[in-house]
Chain A
């Protein structure tokens, strides 16, 4: 299976490449009021209005300054039985890689900051570990996806 990989706060993540539509540059985001902080707002993608979330915030990581490398990955995600187009903000997009079954291990119980429900598995490429995300689950959940209660409960609306 092929995966698109990207970086967030130093960690490397992967999503099924078939779910990725395109990668676009960071552009003007219109904030939608009364929405959680990790929902950055909406962008104009060739005439369509597409919501964009900040995966860092959703994963409970600190918000970061944008850099030249910051991009938006536009994906087809299955939420509530329908496929919707959403974008996610990432620190940088890496590459498309191929991983076969042997290179994937089940997700560990501990050792990652994330709620393991959203991890399909851990990919191993040489010495590098990648977190393979179940992106549909990520978007279907309204909550922040961290195990520890470090985040302010009021932030998860």
Chain B
């Protein structure tokens, strides 16, 4: 079954990179530009996995992760955080909020797919 991944990032460029990479690997991809946008879209169409940036306007990644984990469909789905190297503290916060794994930007598409194969399989 083809899995659905939602990619959340305020940068259109990064959303495009995620989209291309994931679609190329056979996943169905949906996008959102921040936490708020994501939650609205997710309510109707829960994904099999979530990838989210941390720094976003309106609702940031950590908030989004917390909200998602409260939802019945979001309790157990894999969540991948995109962080930058200076965000050690955020990483811990994210883990505490319920994130499954993290990937540091900038990353190569192969790294993204490798992590998904471990986390999502």
Please tell me whether chains A and B touch each other in their complex, using a CB distance cut-off of 8 A.
no
